[in-house]
Amino acid sequence: MGYVSYMPLTLERIPHEKQVSVHGLLAQGFPYRKISKLCDVSIGVIGMLAKRQPANLSDIDTFKKGLIARAYAIGGQAFNYVTDDKLNACSAPQLMMVAGIAVDKARDMEGSNRPVFNVVTVINECKQTREKLERQMLTIERAEQQLIGSQTPSEERSDLR
């Protein structure tokens, strides 16, 4: 058997784009083996990158935006493959699932699935509620003052007992 020489593991030979991709996938929680296959790097390289400081955050954001764009492209390709013949071949449960997912994703893209709060409206409603409570408290305080003022001294003594 011949002598096998192993090169020390350094990151100089790993392109910066691959390092950013690895950091991005690590940040998203992908397992090492999946990252290794996707980025064509060894598990040792992934471990070294995981131990080091993260790459430039703007590079990671750019990478994430690229992933989103790629996901939209794949989605577009998938929609091109859905033909009427394929839909006609689906069972009723399959069609319902496809329709539900399509509607849900369309609503996601429109922003319809997210609750929308108008901050100005919420603040105005809080102010109105506070003003209403303050008026009620003032009414209670006046009624209490009238009740105390209308009591005779003998009634006050009986209240104290």
Tell the burial category of 48 from Cβ atoms under 10 Å away from its Cβ (0-12, 13-18, 19+): middle
For the chain, what is the mean pLDDT? 79
Tell me the per-residue pLDDT of 14-31, one tens digit each, with 9 for 90 and over.
Answer: 888 888 888 888 888 889
The pTM of this model reads: 0.34
pLDDT at 160: 55
Which residue, among 56, 137, 77, 7, has the nearest Cα to 64 in the 3D structure?
56
How far from each other are the two terminal CA atoms of the chain, in whole angstroms? 106
Q: What letter does residue 152 receive in the DSSP assignment?
A: -
DSSP 140-151: HHHHHHHHHHHS
Neighbouring C-beta atoms of residue 102, cutoff 10 Å: 12
Q: Summarize pLDDT for 33-85 with one digit per residue, the tens.
A: 999 999 999 999 898 888 875 556 677 777 778 777 877 788 788 878 888 88
Query: What does the pLDDT look like over 120-149, one tens digit per residue?
Result: 788 888 999 999 999 999 999 999 998 888
Write out the two tokens for 49.
């990158």
- Cβ–Cβ < 8 Å for 56, 13: no
Name 112's Cβ contacts closer than 8 Å, sequence gap at least 6.
Answer: none
